[in-house]
Amino acid sequence: MSGLAALIFDVDGTLADTERDGHRVAFNEAFARKGLDWHWSEALYGRLLEIPGGKERMRHFMRHYVYGEEPPADAAALITELHADKNRIYNQLFSEGRLGLRPGVDRLIREARAAGVPLAIATTSARENVLALLCHTLGTEAPGWFDPLASADEVPEKKPSPAVYEYVLARLGVDPGRCLVLEDSENGLRAARGAGLRTLITVNAYTRDGDYRDAELVLDHLGEPDRPFTILGGRSAGRAADRRYVDLDLLEGLTVDN
Ligand code: XBP
Ligand code: MG
């Protein structure tokens, strides 16, 4: 029996490396299908990621890169249409097996389930995109493993606001000090810390240069027995020194009073 009260997972960048080869590719395909000559390169998308939320990101792009001023009144309808198209294409990328889980994610989730550790999700993304990811990678039952599954549909206020983590904590009704958050970005860390939660960061190509001094542990990924993680930092990094992969025992050691 684990002493962890809950594990709370971010989705994009944490469960799967979704941004560069997922959302970005799907945005570009949606733009092309609409006859727009917009193209988000990997480098540009890295800058646009500072704006959380797909619709918000498109509005920001139109404001700063297309019009140079507030987009026209009919932009909202175009954004809604493009976002729906992008999400359909994104779902298809998963159904074709072109996107998968990051190392250690499947193993850790299954270990937590076997030990009866409550699981939750806290993301800034639309619910339909979270369901696509979970169903195509972990199976159609997987959305039911996470309670609450908090997305932009339940909590529209985007990270770095702590709102989505506060919502999850209120629903879980547990001591925040005995929970652990898994995130991949600075915005995510700020959101979790704002809600008083301890955080493990697994970086990716877009987020590896962030400021994670406030995280318990910073890794390149969660690791597998045959594919060890690399420790990049964190206040409790010493606790991972002799480990190769993240398991419940290591995570419990990162919570308070351990
Ligand atoms: C995820 C995001 C989202 C996705 C696209 O952030 O920033 O905007 O890029 O999502 P986090 P939607 O991992 O911190 O939750 O298109 O569904 O809005
Ligand atoms: Mg993320």
Q: Does the annotation mark 12 as catalytic?
A: yes
Instruction: Report residue 73 as tokens.
Output: 């009144």
Biggest alpha carbon distance in the chain?
A: 57
Give the per-residue pLDDT at 12.
Answer: 98
Ligand 1 midpoint to CA 12 (Å): 6
Ligand 2 midpoint to CA 46 (Å): 13
Name which of 211, 175, 213, 210 is nearest 195 in CA terms: 175
What residue owns the CA closest to ligand 1's atom 7?
52
Does the beta carbon of 126 sit less than 6 angstroms from any atom of ligand 1?
yes
Query: How far is it, in rounded angstroms, from Cα 37 to Cα 237?
Result: 46
Query: How far is it, in rounded angstroms, from Cα 99 to Cα 21?
Result: 8
Q: Does the annotation mark 10 as catalytic?
A: yes
Query: Mutate which of 10, 11, 12 to test ligand 1's pocket (most atoms within 8 Å of Cβ)?
Result: 12
Does the beta carbon of 22 sit less than 6 angstroms from any atom of ligand 1?
no
* H/E segment holding residue 121: strand 119-122
Query: How far is it, in rounded angstroms, from Cα 44 to Cα 204?
Result: 16
Which residues in 2-23 are b (16+ Cβ under 10 Å) and which e?
bebbbbbbbbbbbbbbbbbebb
Along the 258 residues of the chain, how does pLDDT read in single tens digits?
578 999 999 999 999 999 999 999 999 999 999 999 999 999 999 999 999 999 999 999 999 999 999 999 899 999 999 999 999 999 999 999 999 999 999 999 999 999 999 999 999 999 999 999 999 999 999 999 999 999 999 999 999 999 999 999 999 999 999 999 999 999 999 999 999 999 999 999 999 999 999 999 999 999 999 999 999 999 999 999 999 999 999 999 999 765
Can you tell me whether residue 231 is helix, strand or coil?
Answer: strand
Give the per-residue pLDDT at 97.
Answer: 95
Q: How many residues does the chain have?
A: 258
Q: How far is CA 229 from the centre of its chain?
A: 19
**What is the position in ligand 1's atom list of the atom closest to the CA of 90?**
16
Closest ligand to the CA of 53: 1
Instruction: Report residue 243 as tokens.
Output: 């480990």
**What is the position in ligand 1's atom list of the atom closest to the CA of 126?**
17
pTM of the entire predicted model: 0.96
